Amino acid sequence: MQPKTPLFSGVFLADKPSGWTSHDAVMLLRRKLGAPRIAHSGTLDPLATGLLVMLVGMATSRQAELQKASKAYEGVISFGAETDTLDAAGKITAQSPLPADVYERIVSASARYSGEIEQTVPLYSAAKRGGVPLHRLARQGRSPDELPVKKVTIYAWELRGWQAPDLSFRLECSSGTYVRSIASELGKAAGCGAHLKVLRRVSAGGFSLDRAVSLEAVKDMTREQAAALLLPLP
């Protein structure tokens, strides 16, 4: 008789590399732990890196609660080029020279990012229109006449450095905030367009990236080594 697989439960903090989907991360941990019940508390786009809070076993019952938690990001916005997806994964749709006062325009436009704001949902996103994901409509060439608008909350927005054409930043925001939309809005305000070049999640729901382990490292772990990294939910 085969011994039963141990029933693991807890939180696994993963550092997702660029190019991985959040689903890829779930499948890896599922295979590694032999645990059928694994979820995460907030998707990261394939281009993005950083903290993915993964819930194992009984911890999956807290998924809805943790998905609503605030998140923090660090990243880079590149000015002078727009893309169809609003980030570096997309095709360039327009290019413009940077105005002489581009940084002053960015600083002025940044004053908007405090408290509750309205955001236009990106066309290339999982949000749905008529039950169909917008990104699917976009790839079929069936863009809706009007994109949805949603309210989000910006807790902190910090400009960290400017080396033309790139702006580095740190953002703390509510769940569901589209950082790509902020990049696009700032590009319009600057008069030259922009797209999100780099995005890294550094915290989510009280958990920090400095305690996360690279998913590439998880590949080489034994089941016991991976299970030893599980944290209890507070």
Q: Are the beta carbons of 116 and 151 closer than 8 angstroms?
A: yes
In the residue annotation, 45 being an active-site residue is answered as yes
Residues contacting 47, CB < 8 A, separation 6+: 18, 19, 87, 88, 89, 196, 199
Q: Which of 178, 171, 184 is nearest to 151 (CA)?
A: 178
Tokens standing for residue 179: 């950082």
Q: Which of 220, 171, 218, 194 is nearest to 94 (CA)?
A: 194
**Which is the catalytic residue, given 45, 87, 166, 210?**
45
The span from the CA of 189 to the CA of 198, in Å, is 20
Q: How far is CA 9 from the centre of its chain?
A: 25
Tokens standing for residue 2: 């085969």
What positions carry a catalytic annotation?
A: 45
